[in-house]
Structure 1
Amino acid sequence: MKKNLICFIVVLLSVTTYARIIPNIPNTTVRPSVALLPIKAKSHTVTTKIKNNIAVTTLETEYYNPNNRILEGTYLFALPKGASVGSFSLWINGKEMPAELLNAKKAEDLYVSIVRKMIDPALLEFVGRETFKMRIFPFPARSSRKIKLTYQQILTADNNLIRYEYPLTAVGNGHNDNITNFSCNIEIEAEHAIKSVFSPTHEIKVKKEGKTASVSFSGNHVDTDRDLVLYMSNSDKRVDLSFIPFAKQGKKGHFLMMLSPKTKIDASEINAKDIVYILDTSGSMVGDKMDQAKKALQYCLHQLSAKDSFNIISFSTEANTYKDKLLEASKSNVKEALDYVDEEIFARGGTNLEEALSYAIDMAPKNSVRPYMIILLTDGKPTIGVTNAEQIIKKVQKASLKNLRLFSFGIGDQLNAKLLDRLAEENNGTREYVSAKEDIEIKISNFVDKVSSPVLSDIKIKFPSSDNLRISEIYPRKFPDLFRGASITLLGRYEGKGDQVIKVSGMIGGESKEFVYEVSFPEENIENSHVPRLWAVRKVGFLLDQIRLNGENAELKKEVVRLAKKFGIVTPYTSYLVVEDDIQTVRLTPTTPRRERGSLFGRRDNTSAERAMKSESGKDAIQASQDIKEMKNAKVAYKKKSEKGNGKQQIRRVDFKTFYMKNGVWCDSESLNIDKKEKKKIIYLSNEYFSLLKKYPKIGKFLSLGKEIDLLWAETIFSIRLK
């Protein structure tokens, strides 16, 4: 009879598309004679309410038993640190089932016993956690059971930043699971106006209004290879600084820093700007493109503030200025400009870009502290006048306009992407591309909404530098302006420790202002494990842009490969990544065919990606530009994607570590270049194995990968083997 009783482990905070099935046979390793179908999580909903730093989270999950037999099971829930259970609901035949809260030690003993009996490393993820346990019997054949659990926790503030974590880490199938139907909604209510709400781990949707905010994250087949981490700041400062460090003992640390303006900005606090719109009116723009471009330009004019100044330059065979000088953005001047765009701008002739840029540069006010913005919209390569890209770039460089911000918009793919990218990147701007299928008006209007209200411009950041602390490798290298409703995210490295002061200065409403912040650089803090990878993605994006725009460099390429190898980042040079010379090649990209993927760097054949790095025009050149820009500006450590094929069977990212499958062994990327003699061999499930786990409980999440692992921890490579 006992052999027919089945126990299943359901880890709710890492809900998978199927539950883990384990025979409930005491003191034996005999498995059921008939294979069982997996328990399926049909849906999973998370609802959280955070008020005054207290979070109440409710989980609802519906499980389905597809087998033709009744199952007996144990429901296990790994509580977040410091959380307490409020209520649990599971009613069977009108009766509420009792539950038990296991402390960390008792839970550890339970998991270790299961691992020993079933040779199942996946459960080692639970070691060191308090756990909620419940026996579920019966679980009828071909029927569902719904589980509802509520817990609460007090969220602590660190550096004026509140952190909320929802553990999604997959346990049931070795970090290779996803949730079929997942929904998470978080409502936040704070004492002060909320400055920023962001997640460096997932692409969330945020709505803020005063002291409240709503966060949502949902989807089908959501990966559970990382926890959902949310940060909130409700400082009452005009410009808030959020600081998130990560450091391992004795190693250089990483940090994430975010600048956010206050929610309500007075008109007097918005920096006035001078702005010139340069519009390509060559023959290739005729038709719908010209109509959309004119509507976009009219939208830009509507967004001008009365304090701003503006002008319009159109260019085809020759360039034409609307007026000889910048105009005040009064209502009457804007209205006349709108009529001019509607009645006087047509598509015809060639593409004289250099002349248009020359007019815009000559029009810039001398010795002005106001941002001087150029918004350039074009769909083709220069064909009239100066057509050499290098000469055009040098023309702008020679002007040396320190307050210049040049934003380039490319339409279609018959243009010089490298030229537009360099114009933007070298002049404190950014680049955007609009495909033939996209709406030009919508794309440009969305951009203008973001940059129409600069709150803090000409930003300078003074980081501490002393014998105790050294800051390095900050990305982005140039600090952009801070706009209303937006934020600036910086990633960097540090060496040392201690409480320090960071000074941020810039222009507000035409006046120079300085803000002082006290932050702490810890010697060790491995809680924010997403920070190192996000920093690496930013740096790789910067290096790739340097290679693409200035030519391939052996040292830069080597550094790209090193970072890609350590953090598992896909690049044009690591679509295939050699782990050990001539022994084994590990793919960093999924096997999805080219036509199914938007990202150039995610294709199966990396030849096209390397070729695109050298191309000036065409679809691949533009896609490479967009991919690199996305990496340079990344705010999420892991890009959302659907991996098909064998990609996930060869590479795993667990917390702050990346592992590669090599000859049947999961190899820690940090251990690959260390002499094999330094490895300490430990037999899987031996007394020494569990002693190691007891000594370093935090490595449970890494050991849960499998039965054979090379793991670098405490300056030692632990080589876990079956024999």
Structure 2
Amino acid sequence: MKKSVIYLAVALLSATVYARVIPNIPNTTIRPTITLLPIQAKTHTVTTKIKNNIAITTLETEYYNPNNRVLEGTYLFALPKGASVGTFSLWINGKEMPAELLDAKKAEDLYVSIVRKMIDPALLEFVGRETFKMRIFPFPARGSRKIKLTYQQVLSADNNLVRYEYPLTAVGNGHNDTIQNFSCNIEIEAQNAIKSVFSPTHDIKIKKQGKTASVSFSGNHINTDRDFVLYMSNSNKRVDLSFIPFAKKGKKGHFLMMLSPKTKVDASEINAKDIVYILDTSGSMVGDKMEQAKKALQYCLHQLNGKDNFNIVSFSTEATTYKDKLISASKSNVKQALDYVDEEIFARGGTNLDEALTYAIDMAPKNSSRPYMIILLTDGKPTIGVTNAEQIIKKVQKANLSNLRLFSFGIGDQLNAKLLDRLAEENNGTREYVSAKEDIEIKISNFVDKVSFPVLSDIKIQFPSVDDLRITEVYPRKFPDLFKGSSITLLGRFRGHGDQVIKVSGMIGGENKEFVYEVSFPEENTENSHVPRLWAVRKVGFLLDQIRLHGENDELKKEVIRLAKKFGIVTPYTSYLVVEDEINRVPTTTRPVPRRQREGWFGRGNAGADRAMKSESGKDAVQASQDIKEMKNAKTAYKKLSGKKGNAQKVIRRVDFKTFYLKNGVWCDSETINKDMSQKQRVVYLSDAYFALLKKYPKIGKFLAIGKEIDLLWNDTVFEIRMKK
């Protein structure tokens, strides 16, 4: 991971500054008395061009010196281990400056010497990396310096994926710092059409067009607690499989697997579908809500393919079908349906959802291999006919339509969220909710764009099952269809290692096709440290949904708590632990945590979260549904812990594949909490034994960097790092 730091050399400065701007303390036993404020990264702009796996990165940072004195310093930029770097250049305020490349040994000596003088471990995460070095002088009092660095790097490809990293962790002043103004823009050009671009660490905006793609993310106060990771695939296969493993030797591993279709899909390769649109036309939909819903339905009709069949069911006090049976999506039929929606659908009466679902299910073709989709749009609870949610669900179950995909769209929050969620969850669909303030047409049209062109349906995945390798705990549990322009991401676990084959089969253009992929499950690979946490978020989301929709189960609850503690995930069952640490263990030099922030999980508090988990309808129920769905479909491993000001980050640190909790002034590895560890070793902070430990296990530098007192599990031993008393 590429790391950038400013190291400022100033005579007789205090050793109390904690930042990526580190005072140079003279070799003296007398502690300096002058205290410096940390140098601030005010703006940071990253521009990267990636062409045929060659990345040219330019970073421009404006650093501000808030102190009343001129500083002299050294700019350090540490490279990832094993990186192949070509040309590079450095500028200060527009003037190119000479720079030196230190080998890993010289860089390590420099970092260790700074740590010894500063009595601060913050630089230890850079140990083991080659480092650029450049002198900065002068750094004016209460003034700024703009630093620009350009470097070229060869990116490696593995399992059909090209990986790019950018070192956000080193731009600011440590794990709890932010960049005031940040922007990142990446332009990608490949030899083949780009299939997938994704980041497991950050939410990004992506634009793809053939062999090119652009990626961007920006914002104010971007957190610097993790590096930015980007993956790209440009395979020309019909269906591409990308595989990202993580494994610690002797332990169960984790993997991320992504299926992506080719970018250009012929009409013959699009699976024909049968689809019924169910629209709530009860009195509560009257006005602008009804008009938006009608426009959304008309958009759906426009997106039908010529081989599709469709129908419309509207319901209020009673249900009404547009036609007695499914009809083909010919141009004339679609035109007539558009006129029908415009002229014949109005809002009035009660809510007879059961009858509408019955009509939609009864018109499903018998023994058909085509996907049968139901898109349900409603804003209320059933009030006419069968109103019991369990009875409605059982009716749909009784139909036993194996090819059914039911998608629920709820408008507002005065509806039965659990009913809509179960209808979707148990029938191979998804749920979406639109608030009263949102544009219904835009939300539904965005969804329809994704599901209009299925290219692989009824997906089955055959994982290797041999004595040397076992695959378990794959999420999602049911595999959705693969649509044009989208992808499917699976997270799972494996025990064992070796080269194996994964088989993926499904329907394409009415025919069953099978794809075979060779995949390597490593014995050890800790580079992709985001994968275990992302897997845990997915599993916790699945378990919470099971608890919310089917009732609390003690076994499921215990598993949620175990995973949440290990990986630092806020849930209804663990938010109180974070709050307790915030209030009791963080020094009270700042303002008290506002009530809204003390409430914990998704802003509702432990009691509020419990209420939301049990609620069938209302704002809490809808929000709980959306929050849990986000976890189940998570594509990034990191979310803000809790509270608008990030107070939980003061007591929780997520570093690489480990999570640490602040307990009585000690940062405790989550794998050591409440466990009887027989192998323990006490090490005095900054002693010879401390640096010997770092030399023996260079990879632990990133963990030692978070504080002076740590309990760390490494190589089956708990190392208790403590200050000398």
TM over 0.5: yes
> In 1, distance between residues paired with 2:630 and 2:256?
17
Q: Secondary structure at the match of 2:517?
A: strand
What amino acid maps onto 1:449 in structure 2? D
- Is 1:405 paired with 2:411? no
> In 2, distance between residues paired with 1:139 and 1:683?
36
Q: CA deviation at 1:162?
A: 0.7
Counterpart in the other structure of 2:694: 693
What amino acid maps onto 2:616 in structure 1? E
What amino acid maps onto 1:304 in structure 2? L
> In 2, distance between residues paired with 1:447 and 1:142?
51
> In 2, distance between residues paired with 1:442 and 1:645?
32
What amino acid maps onto 1:51 in structure 2? K
* Greater displacement, 616-625 / 345-354: 345-354
Counterpart in the other structure of 1:235: 235
> In 2, distance between residues paired with 1:363 and 1:276?
9
Counterpart in the other structure of 2:50: 50
Q: Secondary structure at the match of 1:241?
A: strand
Q: CA deviation at 1:543?
A: 0.2
CA RMSD of aligned residues (A): 2.5
Report if the CA contact (8 A) 1:270-1:455 is conserved. Answer: yes
> In 1, distance between residues paired with 2:9 and 2:207?
53
- TM-score where L is the length of structure 1: 0.94
- TM-score where L is the length of structure 2: 0.94
Q: CA deviation at 1:17?
A: 12
- Is 1:659 paired with 2:660? yes
Report if the CA contact (8 A) 2:18-2:173 is conserved. Answer: no
Q: CA deviation at 1:472?
A: 0.2
Report if the CA contact (8 A) 1:533-1:637 is conserved. Answer: yes
What amino acid maps onto 2:221 in structure 1? H
Summarize the Cα distance change of 1:436–1:6 in structure 2 as closer, same or farther, 3 Å threshold: farther
What amino acid maps onto 1:38 in structure 2? P
Report if the CA contact (8 A) 2:90-2:98 is conserved. Answer: no
Q: Secondary structure at the match of 1:427?
A: coil
Counterpart in the other structure of 1:5: 11
Report if the CA contact (8 A) 1:44-1:183 is conserved. Answer: yes
> In 1, distance between residues paired with 2:18 and 2:64?
10
Q: 5 Å matches for 1:529-548?
A: 529-548=529-548
Counterpart in the other structure of 1:210: 210
Report if the CA contact (8 A) 1:8-1:20 is conserved. Answer: no
> In 1, distance between residues paired with 2:212 and 2:224?
28
What amino acid maps onto 1:164 in structure 2? Y
What amino acid maps onto 1:5 in structure 2? A
> In 1, distance between residues paired with 2:600 and 2:444?
24
Q: CA deviation at 1:183?
A: 1.2
Counterpart in the other structure of 1:526: 526
> In 2, distance between residues paired with 1:137 and 1:8?
20
Counterpart in the other structure of 2:675: 674
Q: CA deviation at 1:87?
A: 3.3
Report if the CA contact (8 A) 1:3-1:25 is conserved. Answer: no
1:360-410 CA distance string (max 9 Å, x none): 111000000100000001111111111110000000000000000000111
Report if the CA contact (8 A) 1:174-1:706 is conserved. Answer: no
> In 2, distance between residues paired with 1:665 and 1:596?
24
Counterpart in the other structure of 2:138: 138
Report if the CA contact (8 A) 1:277-1:375 is conserved. Answer: yes
Report if the CA contact (8 A) 1:190-1:211 is conserved. Answer: yes
What amino acid maps onto 2:205 in structure 1? K
Q: Secondary structure at the match of 1:445?
A: helix
Report if the CA contact (8 A) 1:48-1:56 is conserved. Answer: yes
Q: 5 Å matches for 1:173-322?
A: 173-322=173-322
> In 2, distance between residues paired with 1:29 and 1:265?
72
Q: 5 Å matches for 1:329-478?
A: 329-478=329-478
Summarize the Cα distance change of 1:420–1:624 in structure 2 as closer, same or farther, 3 Å threshold: same
> In 2, distance between residues paired with 1:349 and 1:95?
74
> In 2, distance between residues paired with 1:188 and 1:8?
45
What amino acid maps onto 2:236 in structure 1? D
Q: 5 Å matches for 1:9-158?
A: 19-28=20-29, 30-31=31-32, 33-81=33-81, 82-84=83-85, 86-91=87-92, 97-158=97-158
Q: Secondary structure at the match of 2:629?
A: helix
The runs of 5 or more residues in structure 2 that have no matched partner are 1-7
The list of structure 1 runs, each at least 4 consecutive aligned residues, that deviate by more than 4 angstroms after superposition, is 6-9, 16-19, 170-174, 578-581, 583-587, 590-597, 640-643
Report if the CA contact (8 A) 1:17-1:41 is conserved. Answer: no
The runs of 5 or more residues in structure 1 that have no matched partner are 10-15
> In 1, distance between residues paired with 2:622 and 2:10?
60
Counterpart in the other structure of 1:12: none
Summarize the Cα distance change of 1:257–1:96 in structure 2 as closer, same or farther, 3 Å threshold: closer
Report if the CA contact (8 A) 1:482-1:488 is conserved. Answer: yes
Summarize the Cα distance change of 1:695–1:329 in structure 2 as closer, same or farther, 3 Å threshold: same
Report if the CA contact (8 A) 1:592-1:603 is conserved. Answer: no
Summarize the Cα distance change of 1:132–1:430 in structure 2 as closer, same or farther, 3 Å threshold: same
1:472-495 CA distance string (max 9 Å, x none): 000000000001110000000000
Report if the CA contact (8 A) 1:17-1:177 is conserved. Answer: no
Q: CA deviation at 1:446?
A: 0.8
Q: CA deviation at 1:134?
A: 1.4
Q: CA deviation at 1:196?
A: 0.5
> In 1, distance between residues paired with 2:677 and 2:460?
46
Summarize the Cα distance change of 1:117–1:297 in structure 2 as closer, same or farther, 3 Å threshold: same
Summarize the Cα distance change of 1:292–1:580 in structure 2 as closer, same or farther, 3 Å threshold: closer
Q: Secondary structure at the match of 2:438?
A: coil
1:76-131 CA distance string (max 9 Å, x none): 11123314362333358x97543211111111111111111221100101110111
> In 2, distance between residues paired with 1:48 and 1:316?
55
Report if the CA contact (8 A) 1:249-1:523 is conserved. Answer: yes
Q: CA deviation at 1:41?
A: 1.9
Q: Secondary structure at the match of 1:90?
A: strand
Q: Secondary structure at the match of 1:500?
A: strand
Summarize the Cα distance change of 1:8–1:337 in structure 2 as closer, same or farther, 3 Å threshold: farther
> In 2, distance between residues paired with 1:180 and 1:692?
36
Report if the CA contact (8 A) 1:259-1:488 is conserved. Answer: yes
Report if the CA contact (8 A) 2:14-2:34 is conserved. Answer: no
> In 1, distance between residues paired with 2:141 and 2:332?
76
Q: Secondary structure at the match of 1:184?
A: strand
Counterpart in the other structure of 1:13: none
Q: Percent of counterpart pairs with the same letter?
A: 81
Q: Secondary structure at the match of 1:503?
A: strand
Summarize the Cα distance change of 1:675–1:245 in structure 2 as closer, same or farther, 3 Å threshold: same
> In 1, distance between residues paired with 2:673 and 2:144?
46
Query: Number of aligned pairs?
Result: 710
1:634-661 CA distance string (max 9 Å, x none): 0000125774163111110001100000
Q: CA deviation at 1:173?
A: 4.2
What amino acid maps onto 1:317 in structure 2? T
> In 1, distance between residues paired with 2:656 and 2:285?
49
Summarize the Cα distance change of 1:326–1:374 in structure 2 as closer, same or farther, 3 Å threshold: same
Counterpart in the other structure of 2:607: 607
Q: CA deviation at 1:74?
A: 1.3
Summarize the Cα distance change of 1:185–1:497 in structure 2 as closer, same or farther, 3 Å threshold: same
Counterpart in the other structure of 1:622: 622
> In 2, distance between residues paired with 1:166 and 1:8?
31
* Greater displacement, 643-652 / 269-278: 643-652
Q: CA deviation at 1:447?
A: 0.7
Q: CA deviation at 1:54?
A: 1.0
Report if the CA contact (8 A) 1:565-1:577 is conserved. Answer: no
> In 2, distance between residues paired with 1:284 and 1:580?
43
Q: CA deviation at 1:301?
A: 0.6
1:235-273 CA distance string (max 9 Å, x none): 110000000000001100000000000011111111000
> In 2, distance between residues paired with 1:659 and 1:703?
11
1:443-482 CA distance string (max 9 Å, x none): 1111111111101000000000001100000000000000
